[in-house]
Every structure is written in structure tokens, then in C-alpha cells.
Structure 1
Amino acid sequence: MSDFISEFWSYYIAAIALIGIVWCVWLLFSQRKVAKTTGGTEDTGHVWDGDLRELNNPLPRWWMWMFLLACIFSLAYLVLYPGLGSYAGVLKFSTQGELAAHRAAQEKMQNEIYSKYLKMDVKQVAADPQAREIGQRLFLNYCAQCHGSDARGSRGFPNLTDSDWLYGGEPDIIQQTITKGRNGVMPPFAAAIDAKQAGDVAQYVRSLSGLSSDPIRASRGEGAFKTTCVACHGAGGKGNQALGAPNLADNVWLYGSSEGSIVDAILKGHNNHMPAHEEILTPERIRMLTAYVWGLSNTGGGAGQ
């Protein structure tokens, strides 16, 4: 309750809490006094079934003492812990502080585990069974939403278990990708290429990876490809990892290999964003995650195990 914009509300809450406890004590003793003046038993006047009479008997003494002790406990609690408005209590306890202490203890424990792997090469970490378990848990928490729990990706999200990499598959490149993120842009070419030309280019692109294609249309599309697409994807369509331009000559497709999917990419473009995790994960966790991702396609420890 430290976020009150006025001290009035702090006093207001404290007053309600204290008045409530005092009222409970007053109620207990006032009713005890009534019981004594009426001889201990009071007839309420309610009768059922002819002879079943309701009486107002005094409280059992054990119940009265438990009730009184509960009120005393409440007062002691409010002195020791927060509860009276913005008063922090003698022990200065807060759930925020408890959470911070718990997180610090967890960080210390985890850093003791991670310290073992900081001395190892990433490829050695990827081969360690315990490290893979840690990396898998990190992956499921932070990466599976896009790449899938099996790391095989989906439309627009790369498969991390094969050997096809947009920016490179070496550990330092993977670590940079996780840390800083990526923003891959395929610009739209609707202003430079019409739909018919885009279809011809799509046929040529399909031919590069051995897919069925119309040779006449592919021949027409080759010229447009070499004047428009070669700057990023290269003369043979093998891509450019420095730019994040995908290899169009293999059989790995991020958005699909149909003519319609390729035409959409040419005319409308794509804008893929891989978020940076440097503000979310510690360097130790990023390193463990790097080792796990690298290991998916390099140690036979593919996802889905």
C-alpha cells in the first residue's frame, strides 16, 4: 500500500482495521455481560414443533478465549507486518522484497551450475546431457512459441534442426542472433515487376531447387531474376548469409514453394523479426541456449527427443 497518492487513505485503511478488531473485542465482552445479567440463559421466544425452544446460551469459555486470542494475534500481526495503511511493520516485510530475495537465491544457485559450463567450449556444452536438458527448458520457455516445441519451425519461422541457416550456423552467429535479434526484410517488387513477370520468376526459382516448372516461363523469368533478385540471392540463387538472404537453390522454404507463395513474396515482400533476448536472458542463459540450438543440427540431439 505504498502507492497511496494521499496520506488520508493510509490512515483510513489503518483506522478501519483497528476499529474492526476493537469492535470484535467489545462485542465479545458486551455479550458476556448480557449473559451474566440474564442468569446465563435467555429465552428468545422461538418455539418449533411444540416444545423445541431456542435459547440464547452463553459462549463456551474455550471458544471465548480462542476468539480473544485471535484478536490479540491480529493486533500483533499488524505491528510486525504491513496491514495498517502504508505502515511497513516492525519486520519491514514485503512481498516484493521476498520475491527479490527468492530470485537472488535462485540466481546464485543457477550461476553455480552455469559456472561449470562457462569454462567449456560451446560445442562441448552442446554434447553434455545436463546442459542439453537446461538448454531445452530454456528453449521451451523462450523460443518454442515461434519455432515450435520440436524446433522445426512453421510458416515464416525457420526450422532449427536442419543445416539450412539464414545468417550462419556457427555458435557465435547463433549467440549473436539470440542476443541482438534479427530483422530480415524481403522488399516488395510490385512497382518494378508485374504479376505475370513475377509468375515467370517464380517458375525460374522453382527450377533452381529441382521442383517442377514450365521451362519456357522459367527462361523468361531468369532474365528478371538476374536484374532484380541477384543482388541479394546471388547469381545461382544460393543466398547470402551476410544479408540473411535465403538459399533458393535448395529445397527448404520458409513461406512455401508453390508459385502463388513465391509470387506473393516477390510482389508483397516479407518482414521477419527475431526479437533480441539480451534484456530477457542473462549471458549465461544465452550461452546455454546457443549450445542447445547449435546441438539440434550438429550432435544428433535433435528436438523431439
Structure 2
Amino acid sequence: MSSGWSLWVMFLVVLNMSITLFLFLWGPRAKIPTLPDGTSGHVWAHGVLREGVRKLPRWWLLFSASMFAAAFVYLFLFPGFGNHKGALGWTSHGELAKAVAANQEKLDPLVARFRLYPVEQLAGDPQALQMGKVLFQDNCAACHQRSGKGNMVLGAPDLTDNDWLYGGSGKDIVTSIHDGRAGVMPPWASLGEDNVDNLVQYVLSLSGSPHDRAKAVAGKPLFATCAACHGTDGKGSHAIGAPNLTDHIWLHGGTVADIHKTVHDGRQGHMPAWSPRLTDDQIRIVAAYVYHLSHPADASSQ
């Protein structure tokens, strides 16, 4: 805090406490005009209720005086009066550092044990899952939701099924979290509107979804432009994050309009790298939790 701000804070503290102390000392001595019956003359309910005037009770005066004393002691012991650091040398940063150190002291043995197991086995450890859930909700839920169900608007995949863009092994999930992923679906508007419509119907046919058979037949040869990424069978590729088109799981929605937009305009997907924010141990714990989301039965049997 600069000297100017320090003086301003000190001025405000002195001003507020001075006014409050003045009112506290003046209040018991203030002379309030009263009627012979000891009331102020203010009435309510057509005279049924009258405002009485009484001295402040002694307990209230003593209690208020003790609060003033406590305030002066606090300003002496702790920061708050401008740049005064307080006689105890207490700081919020120091308090946080002590809390973090104490928490880390408890976590270190636990994390050391977690390092002994692969991610798949760690997914069956209740303590790892408890920690992973907290880390997931703090870092991943904004896109994938707290439930892990994903978000089609953002193109964040559902993590609770067993359909993986880049592979679902523990190692694959750790890589996705540690390094991030970047997926690009190029636009195919250059094929022409009719061809895009036909291609959409063929893509729908791959998963057995309702489709226009004639357009799907016309669109099949056009799929050769997509096979480089999605494969000739449409089952996708984990190597480049091309989704499987033969199931009923859709990253950006599976309606005719959704698929048309994907084919016509293309899509951009970005999973940020979490290595700058999370430690390697934390990433493995999150990966174990994510693995558990899609393998609850497998994880519980380990």
C-alpha cells in the first residue's frame, strides 16, 4: 500500500472510530425532553402506545465499551491501520501458506501411494476418486459439466460413455489432460448444397439413423473425401481425434441440421493443456476419475 493510501485508510479509521466514540459518550448524557409521565410524547395506535424514555442499561454500556477496547487491541495486534503490520506480524498470505503446507503434508503420503498404480487401477480407489472429483469439478466441469456429460454447444464430449475421440486408456486420457487436444473438421461447402445434403444422409445411414435412402446412396461416393480421417467404414481414428460415425454418439448433435452444419461449415475443437495448472500427480488423479466415469463397473471391481 502506498503512503497516500495508507494515510487515507488511517484517516477513515480515526474518523469513524472518533464519531462512534463521541456518540457512545454523548448518548447516555443527552437530555431528551419528556412529559410528566416519563414519555417523549410520541404516540401510536390512537394513544394506546406511548414512547418511553429510559437510560441505557449498564450491561449495554459495559459491553459497548469492551468492543471499543477490543477494536483498539485488534488494530494494534493485526494489520488494518494503514501500513501498520501489526504486533503479531500476521498476514493473510502467511496464513494461506501455512494452511497449504498443512494440507500438503496430509496429501503427500496419499499421492505417493497413488503413484504405485496405473490409472486404470487407480480408478477403483475411493480416496483417489474423491480427490479426482474435486479436481474435475474445479477444472473440467465448466465445459464437461459436473456430471461429465459434456456440452454439444461447446463440442465438449460426454465422458460417461465409452466413446473416445483420442482413446480411452489411462495413458490416452492422461495425454489429453496433460497436453490438450486440438481437433479440426474442415468445411465441405465447396461440394455444393445438394452434395452436402446427400453426404449428410449417408452419414446418418452409417449409424442406422432414419435417413433418405436415395440421397444416402448418392452421398456414399462423396464420403471418400471424409474417409481419410473417419476411415472407409466411418469408425473414426483415435490418432487424429476423428469421431466414430457408426454409433449414435454425436459431439455436436445428431439431427439433420446439426450434421449439415458440421459438414457444410466445419467444426473447431480445442481441449486446453492442463499441465501449466495441474501437477503430474493431479493429472493422473483426474484421469483416474474420468476413466471411472465411463468404466464404473470395471473400476469398482478392482
Q: TM-score by structure 1 length?
A: 0.79
Counterpart among 123, 126, 140 of residue 126 in structure 1: 123
Deviation at 1:171, TM superposition (A): 0.8
Change (3 A) 1:150 1:30: closer
Structure 2, unpaired ranges of 5+:
41-52
- Separation in 2, partners of 1:259, 1:63: 74
Deviation at 1:186, TM superposition (A): 0.9
Equivalent residue, structure 1, for 2:268: 271
Note the alpha carbon deviations across 1:135-158, whole angstroms, 9 max, x for none: 233333333333334333342332
Change (3 A) 1:126 1:27: closer
Q: What is the number of equivalent residue pairs in this alignment?
A: 287
- Separation in 1, partners of 2:217, 2:146: 41
- Separation in 1, partners of 2:220, 2:165: 23
Deviation at 1:16, TM superposition (A): 4.4
Indicate if the aligned counterparts of 2:165 and 2:238 stay in contact, CA closer than 8 A. Answer: yes
- Separation in 2, partners of 1:258, 1:24: 68
Q: Within 5 Å, which residues of 2 pair with 1:51-200?
A: 51-52=37-38, 69-155=66-152, 156-190=155-189, 192-200=190-198
Deviation at 1:30, TM superposition (A): 8.8
Pairwise CA RMSD: 3.3
Deviation at 1:98, TM superposition (A): 1.7
- Separation in 2, partners of 1:21, 1:289: 51
Could you say what secondary structure the match of 2:220 adopts?
A: helix
Note the alpha carbon deviations across 1:43-93, whole angstroms, 9 max, x for none: x47232x44278x99988877666555444433322221122112112222
Equivalent residue, structure 2, for 1:243: 240
Note the alpha carbon deviations across 1:186-221, whole angstroms, 9 max, x for none: 11121x211110011112222222334334322321
- Separation in 1, partners of 2:18, 2:110: 53
Note the alpha carbon deviations across 1:83-124, whole angstroms, 9 max, x for none: 221121122222233223222322332233222211222222
- Separation in 1, partners of 2:106, 2:222: 59
- Separation in 1, partners of 2:27, 2:191: 92
- Separation in 2, partners of 1:64, 1:298: 66
Change (3 A) 1:250 1:286: same
Structure 1, unpaired ranges of 5+:
36-41
- Separation in 1, partners of 2:218, 2:27: 101
Q: Within 5 Å, which residues of 2 pair with 1:252-291?
A: 252-291=249-288
- Separation in 2, partners of 1:28, 1:159: 63
Equivalent residue, structure 2, for 1:38: none
Note the alpha carbon deviations across 1:22-54, whole angstroms, 9 max, x for none: 67778888999xx8xxxxxx9x47232x44278
Equivalent residue, structure 1, for 2:46: none
* Corresponding letter in the other structure for 2:107: Q
Equivalent residue, structure 1, for 2:206: 208
- Separation in 2, partners of 1:10, 1:283: 43
Deviation at 1:179, TM superposition (A): 1.9
* Corresponding letter in the other structure for 1:221: G
Indicate if the aligned counterparts of 2:204 and 2:210 stay in contact, CA closer than 8 A. Answer: yes
Larger Rg belongs to: 1
Could you say what secondary structure the match of 1:300 adopts?
A: helix
Could you say what secondary structure the match of 2:120 adopts?
A: helix
Indicate if the aligned counterparts of 1:165 and 1:241 stay in contact, CA closer than 8 A. Answer: yes
- Separation in 2, partners of 1:212, 1:68: 80
Deviation at 1:17, TM superposition (A): 3.1
Identity %: 36
